[in-house]
C-alpha cells in the first residue's frame, strides 16, 4: 500500500490528483525551482527560489536579510508549488486547449536549521538537486559564507500532486472538423557548456557537467 500525505484535495479535475509520497517525491526530484507563497506585511507574495529535498523535508536557503526568509523563519504558514510542463495540448476548439504537466503543492511551516553539520549537509543537498555530484567538485563554503546564509526546513506533511497527460479532449461533434489536434512535447535539454573566460586552459569540464549533457542523448 502506498504511503500518502494528508490530502489537500484537488477540486478542479479531481481525477488528476495524486496524494502518495512516491508520486510527490518523483516530481520534486525532477526539478529544483519552486514558487513560495506567503503573506508579508498584510499582502500576498510569491517568490521563486531553488530548493533541495531529503526524505520528507524541503530545504530553502538565502540571505538572512531576505524578506522571504525573515517571514518564513517566524513560523508563518506558507505554500510551495513546483510545476513541470511536459507538452502543449492543441485541441480542435480553443476552449479545450490545455497543457500536459506535473505539479506538486505543499502547505506547511518553516523552521531554521542552525546546527552547523546539518547546515553544510543541506547546502550539499541543494547543490546536488541542481547538478548531481557538483558539490564534490567545488570549494566548500567558508565560515564567512555560512554566516551569510540562512537555511530553512519545511516538513512535507500536507501535499498533493496534479498530473495531466495524454491527447486533447474535444467535444464529440468537433472530432470531424478539419482542424489539426495533438500534443507538442516540451523536453528539458542542456546545451554545450560555455567555459568562463578566466578559466585556466588546463581545467577540463567536470564529470557532473558531462553527465548532465549526456542526459540529452
In-domain check, residue 29: yes
CATH of the domain at 69: 2.30.110.10
Domain residue limits at 24: 14-86+99-166
Whether 182 and 90 have beta carbons less than 8 Å apart is answered as yes
> How many CA atoms are closer than 13 Å to the CA of 11, on its beta-carbon side?
1
Q: Examine residue 33 and state whether it is found in any structural domain, yes or no.
A: yes
CA 213, distance to chain mean position in Å, is 20
Indicate the number of domains in the chain: 1
For the chain, strand residue ranges (E) read 17-18, 33-40, 43-54, 57-62, 78-90, 98-108, 110-112, 150-155, 158-164, 182-185
Mean pLDDT over residues 90-96, rounded? Answer: 97
Residue 177 lies in a domain: no
Within-domain flag for 173: no
Residue 190 lies in a domain: no
Q: What is the pLDDT of residues 125-183, one digit of tens each?
A: 999 999 999 999 999 999 999 999 999 999 998 999 999 999 999 999 999 999 999 99
The whole-number pLDDT of residue 18 equals 86
**171 in any annotated domain:** no
Amino acid at each position: 500500500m502506498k504511503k500518502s500525505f494528508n490530502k489537500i484535495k484537488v477540486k478542479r479535475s479531481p481525477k488528476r490528483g495524486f496524494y502518495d509520497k512516491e508520486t510527490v517525491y518523483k516530481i520534486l526530484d525532477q526539478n529544483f525551482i519552486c514558487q513560495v507563497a506567503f503573506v508579508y506585511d498584510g499582502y500576498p507574495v510569491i517568490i521563486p527560489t531553488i530548493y533541495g529535498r531529503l526524505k520528507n523535508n524541503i530545504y530553502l536557503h538565502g540571505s538572512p536579510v531576505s524578506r522571504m526568509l525573515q517571514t518564513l523563519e517566524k513560523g508563518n504558514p506558507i505554500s510551495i508549488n513546483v510545476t513541470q510542463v511536459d507538452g502543449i495540448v492543441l485541441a480542435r476548439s480553443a476552449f479545450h486547449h490545455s497543457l500536459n504537466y506535473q505539479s506538486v503543492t505543499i502547505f506547511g511551516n518553516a523552521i531554521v536549521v542552525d546546527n552547523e553539520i546539518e547546515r553544510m549537509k543541506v547546502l550539499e543537498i541543494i547543490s546536488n538537486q541542481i547538478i548531481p555530484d557538483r558539490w564534490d567538485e567545488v570549494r566548500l563554503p567558508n565560515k564567512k559564507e555560512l554566516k551569510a546564509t540562512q537555511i530553512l526546513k519545511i516538513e512535507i506533511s500536507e501535499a498533493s500532486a496534479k498530473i495531466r497527460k495524454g491527447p486533447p479532449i474535444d467535444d464529440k461533434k468537433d472530432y470531424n472538423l478539419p482542424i489539426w489536434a495533438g500534443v507538442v512535447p516540451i523536453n528539458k535539454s542542456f546545451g554545450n557548456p560555455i567555459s568562463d573566460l578566466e578559466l585556466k586552459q588546463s581545467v577540463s569540464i567536470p564529470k557532473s557537467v558531462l553527465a548532465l549533457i549526456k542526459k540529452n542523448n
